[in-house]
Amino acid sequence: MSTAVAGALGECVHVAWVFNFMRLAETAGWRSVFLGADISVEKIIAAAKRDQADLVGVSYRLTPETGERLLGELAETADELRTAGMRFVLAGTPPEAERARTAQEWLKLTYDTVGDDLHEAIHNQPGYYGIKAPSL
């Protein structure tokens, strides 16, 4: 059974996305581990290792500058896990999205995969093979 862990990063206490993410993961047959709010990068990484996560979800919905710093710290700290095949997803506000890379750039940076569009880039990454999304 695949495992997803997720929580609200840094001082963020907005967990609605995290709850929805966990519910969708469970619907798809995944084991979900809710980390809660106000979770440090260190605790997210420790939980991902402890629970042997296949997917790590983080939510950050506060100050874009702080979010940028925290996500940079997460990316650096998680590099070993990412290289080993662990996947990461992020939920944030539009200002954070403006500071983040586009989805295709992120896939190239994070998973070394490319495509003419996001759909192709995702399908070109072997780590996404076999993932089944729940039907709505």
What pLDDT tens digit does each residue of the chain (136 aa) get?
899 999 999 888 888 888 888 888 899 899 999 999 999 999 999 999 999 999 998 888 888 778 778 877 887 888 888 888 888 887 877 777 666 555 556 666 666 677 766 567 667 777 666 665 544 4
DSSP 3-state assignment of 127? helix
109 and 76 belong to one structural domain: no
What is the per-residue pLDDT for 72? 78
Q: How far apart are CA 134 and CA 25, in angstroms?
A: 8
Q: Cβ distance 4 to 31 under 8 Å?
A: yes
96 and 110 belong to one structural domain: no
114 and 63 belong to one structural domain: no
66 and 31 belong to one structural domain: yes
* Structural domains counted in the chain: 2
The domain in which residue 25 lies consists of: 3-100
Sorted by sequence, the CB contacts under 8 Å of residue 96 that are 6+ apart come out as 60, 61, 64, 67, 68
Q: pTM above 0.85?
A: no
CATH of the domain at 16: 3.40.50.280
